[in-house]
Structure 1
Amino acid sequence: MKSKRVDYILEKIKFYRHDGDKTKCLGFCATVEHAEFMAHSFNSLLGAGTAVALSGKNSVTQRQKYLQDLENDDTQLQYIFSRDIFNEGIDVQNINLILMLRPTQSSIVFTQQLGRGLRKIKGKEFLTVLDFIGNYQRSFLISSVFSREPNPDKKTRLREVSSDFNDIPGDTFIHFDKIVKEQILKQIDQEKFMSDSNQKKAYFVFRKDNGNKVPLLTDYIKRGSDLDPCLFSKIKKGSLLYHSYLEFVISAENELNSEESASLNILHKNNLFISLISFLETLLPAKRIEEWCILDFLFKNPSSQISVSELQDLMKKYVDYENIQNLRHACRVLSGEFWDSNENKKYSNIRFNFSADLISLNENVKALFKIQDNLSSEYKKWLLDFSEYAILRYDDEFGRNFYGFPFLKPYQKYSMRSLAILSNYEKIHSSFRGSGVIYNIPSDYFIFVDLYKEDLKKAEFNYDDRFITPSCLHWTGPDKWNQQHKIMSNIINHFEKGINTHFFIRKFKQVEGIPQDYIYIGDGVVFKDTVPKELVNPVFMDFTIHQIPDQMYTDFITKSDITNVE
Structure 2
Amino acid sequence: MELNRDNLLNAYEQGFLDKDTHKIGHHPPRMIINSKEENVLSSMLDEMEGCLSFSISVAFITEGGLATLKTALYELAKQNRGGRIITSTYLNFNKPKVFKALLNIPNLEVRAADKEGFHAKGYVFRNHHYSSMFIGSSNLTDAALKKNYEYNLKLTSLENGAVIQHFNSQFEKLWEESTAVDDEWIRGYEQAYVEQPEQRKVLEVIEDRSRYHHQTMTGQVIQPNIMQKEALMELSGLRKAGKEKGLVVSATGTGKTYLAAFDVQQYRPGRMLFLAHREQILEKSMNDFSKLLGEPLSNFGLYSGRSKKSEAKYLFATVQALSKEANLGQFNPDEFDYIIVDEAHRSSASTYTKILNHFSPGFLLGMTATPERTDDMEIFSLFDYNIAYEIRLQQALEEEILSPFHYFGVTDYEKDGMSVDDTTALGQLTSNERIAHLIAKIEYYGHSGETLRGLMFVSNRAEAAELSQSLNHHGYRTRALTGDDSQQMRLQTVRELEGGMLDYIITVDIFNEGVDIPSINQVVMLRQTQSSIIFIQQLGRGLRKHDDKEYLTVIDFIGNYRNNYMIPIALTDDRSYNKDRLRKSLMDRNTLTGVSTINFESIAKEKIYRAINTTTLNTQSFLKEMHLYLKNKIGRPPALIDFHDDADVIDPLVILHKYSHYLEFLVKIKEKHLTISKNDHQVLSFLSKEITEGKRVHETLLLQQIIESPVNMRDFQLEMHRRGYHMTDDTMRSVLRNLTHAFHAQQDLKKYGGPLIEVADDLIRPAPAFSSALENPEIRAHITQVLELSLALSRSYDQSKPLTVNRKYSRKDVCRLLNWDKDESSTLYGYKYKHGTCPIFITYHKDEEIEDTIRYEDRFLDLNTLKWFTRSNRTLQSKEIKALLEGHREGAPIHIFVKKDDDEGSTFYYLGEGHIDHQTLEETRMNDGTGKPVVKMNMLMENPVDYDLYKYLESGTHE
**TM-score under structure 1 length normalisation:** 0.68
Q: Secondary structure at the match of 2:922?
A: coil
Q: Which residue matches 1:334?
A: 739
Please report how far the alpha carbon of residue 533 of structure 1 lies from its aligned counterpart in structure 2 after TM superposition. Answer: 5.0
Contact 1:410 1:522 in 2 (8 A): yes
Deviation at 1:509, TM superposition (A): 2.7
How far is 1:129 from its partner? 9.4
Q: Does 1:307 align with 2:712?
A: yes
8 A Cα contact 2:843 2:901, kept in partner? yes
Contact 2:863 2:947 in 1 (8 A): yes
Tell me, yes or no, if the aligned pair for 2:543 and 2:552 is still in contact at 8 Å. no
Match of 1:414 in 2: 809
Aligned-pair CA distance for 1:364: 4.3
**How much has 1:520 moved relative to structure 2?**
1.0
How many angstroms does 1:491 deviate by?
A: 4.0
Structure 1: distance between partners of 2:691 and 2:339: 52
Picking from 647, 671, 680, the partner of 1:273 is 680
* Cα separation, partners in 2 of 1:159 and 1:309, compared to 1, 3 Å: closer
Q: Distance in 2 between matches of 1:182 and 1:418?
A: 29
Q: Highest Rg: 1 or 2?
A: 2
Is 1:387 aligned to 2:796, yes or no?
Answer: no
Q: 1:436 and 2:841 equivalent?
A: no
Offset, 1:414: 1.2
Task: Tell me how far 1:367 sits from its aligned partner.
Answer: 3.5
User: Is the Cα contact below 8 Å between 2:895 and 2:913 reproduced in 1?
Assistant: yes
Partner of 2:655: 232
The Cα offsets for residues 181-218 of structure 1, whole Å up to 9 and x where unpaired, read as: 99988976763224444444444444444x14332222
What SS does the aligned partner of 1:438 have? coil
1:39–1:53 CA contact under 8 A, matched in 2: no
Pick closer, same or farther for the CA change 1:483–1:379 going to 2, 3 Å. same
Output the amino acid matched with 2:597.
Answer: F
Residue 290 of structure 1 aligns with an amino acid whose one-letter code is H
Mapped pair 1:425 → 2:830: no
Q: 1:152 to 1:34 in 2, by over 3 A?
A: same
Q: Secondary structure at the match of 1:101?
A: coil
- Does the C-alpha gap of structure 1 residues 223 and 525 become closer, same or farther in structure 2, counting only changes over 3 Å? same
1:216-365 alignment runs, 5 A limit: 216-224=639-647, 227-235=650-658, 242-252=659-669, 254=670, 261=671, 264-266=672-674, 268-281=675-688, 282-299=690-707, 301=708, 304-315=709-720, 318-320=723-725, 322-365=727-770
The SS at the match of 1:440 is coil
| Counterpart for residue 538 of structure 1 | 934
Q: Which amino acid aligns with 1:84?
A: T
- 2:606 & 2:543 partners in 1: Cα distance? 28
2: CA distance, partners of 1:186 / 1:37: 43
* Correspondences of 1:146-157 after superposition (within 5 Å): 146-147=571-572
Query: Are the equivalent residues in 1 in contact too, given 2:512–2:537 (CA < 8 A)?
Result: no
Distance 1:505 1:183 in 2: 21
Q: Counterpart in 2 of 1:6?
A: none
How many angstroms apart in 2 are the aligned matches of 1:285 and 1:26? 36
Alignment CA distance shift 1:469-1:435 (3 Å): same
Cα distance change, pair 541–489 in 1 and its aligned pair in 2 (3 A):
same
Describe the shift of the 1:454–1:33 C-alpha distance in structure 2 as closer, same or farther (beyond 3 A).
farther
- Contact 1:446 1:504 survives alignment (8 Å): yes
Name 2:944's counterpart in structure 1: 547
Change over 3 Å in CA distance of 1:86–1:276 after alignment to 2? closer
- Cα gap change, 1:65/1:172 in structure 2, threshold over 3 Å: closer, same or farther? closer
CA distance in 2, matches of 1:448, 1:379: 37
Q: 1:415 to 1:53 in 2, by over 3 A?
A: farther
Tell me the secondary structure at the aligned position of residue 265 of structure 1. coil
CA deviations on 1:64-103 (whole Å, 9 max, x unpaired) are 999xxxxxxxxxxxxxxx9737757457978547974399
Work out which of the residue numbers 615, 620, 629 in structure 2 matches 1:191.
615
Determine if the alignment matches structure 1 residue 522 to structure 2 residue 912. yes
* Aligned pairs for 1:138-153 within 5 A: 140-147=565-572
Cα displacement string for residues 513-545 of structure 1 (whole angstroms, at most 9, x for unaligned residues):
xx3311111111223343335676222222221
Look up the equivalent residue of 2:677 and give its one-letter code: N
User: 338-347 or 412-421, which moves further after superposition?
Assistant: 338-347
Query: 1:25, 1:96 within 8 Å by CA — same for their partners in 2?
Result: yes
Matched AA of 2:948? Q
Q: What are the Cα deviations for residues 262-305 of structure 1, in whole angstroms up to 9, with x where unaligned?
A: xx332x42221111000112223122122112211122x2xx43
Residue 239 (structure 1) aligns with: none
- Equivalent residues, number: 484
Cross-structure match for 2:116 = none
Distance 1:467 1:182 in 2: 19
Read off the aligned partner of 1:481 and give its amino acid letter: R
Contact 1:411/1:520, CA 8 A, preserved across alignment: yes
Partner amino acid for 2:704?
Answer: D
Specify whether residues 159 and 379 from structure 1 end up closer, same or farther in structure 2 by C-alpha distance, changes over 3 A only.
closer
**What amino acid does structure 2 have at the position aligned with 1:530?**
T
Of the two structures, which has the highest relative contact order with CA contacts closer than 8 Å and spacing of 6 or more? 1
Letter matched to residue 570 of structure 2: V
AA aligned opposite 1:467 = F
Paired amino acid for 2:909: I
Change (3 A) 1:494 1:429: closer
Instruction: State the Cα RMSD in Å.
Output: 5.3
What displacement does 1:447 show?
0.8
Q: Residues 39-78 of structure 1 correspond to what in structure 2 (within 5 A)?
A: 39=281, 61=338, 63=340
TM-score by length of structure 2 reads: 0.43
The alpha-carbon distance between structure 1 residues 358 and 172, as it changes in their structure 2 partners (threshold 3 A), is: same
Gap change, CA 1:61 and 1:325, over 3 Å in 2: same
Within 2, Cα distance between the matches of 1:190 and 1:27?
39
Are positions 1:504 and 2:897 aligned together?
Answer: yes
The alignment-based identity, stated in percent, is: 20
> What's the counterpart of residue 278 of structure 2?
36
Q: Which has the higher strand share?
A: 2
Q: 1:313 to 1:474 in 2, by over 3 A?
A: closer
Query: Partners in 2 of 1:355 and 1:409 — Cα distance?
Result: 33
**Structure 1: gaps of 5 or more residues:** 1-17, 67-81, 236-241, 255-260, 371-375
1:558 alignment partner in structure 2: 955
What amino acid does structure 1 have at the position aligned with 2:921?
V
Residues 326 and 544 of structure 1, relative CA distance in 2, 3 Å threshold: closer
Say whether 1:215 aligns with 2:638. yes
Which amino acid in structure 1 is aligned with residue 800 of structure 2? F
- State the match for 2:797 in structure 1: 397
SS at match of 2:596: coil
CA distance 1:495–1:54, change in 2 (3 Å): farther
Between the aligned partners of 1:169 and 1:339, the Cα distance in structure 2 is 44
Preserved CA contact (<8 Å) 2:867 2:938: yes
Secondary structure in 2 aligned to 1:532?
A: strand
What SS does structure 2 have at the residue aligned with 1:383?
A: helix
Whether the 8 Å contact between 1:293 and 1:314 is mirrored in structure 2 is: no
Question: 1:448 Cα shift?
Answer: 0.8
Q: Which amino acid in the other structure matches residue 416 of structure 1?
A: R
Does the C-alpha gap of structure 1 residues 311 and 159 become closer, same or farther in structure 2, counting only changes over 3 Å?
closer
Paired amino acid for 2:368:
D
Counterpart Cα distance in 1 of 2:581 and 2:771: 45
Contact 1:416 1:433 in 2 (8 A): no
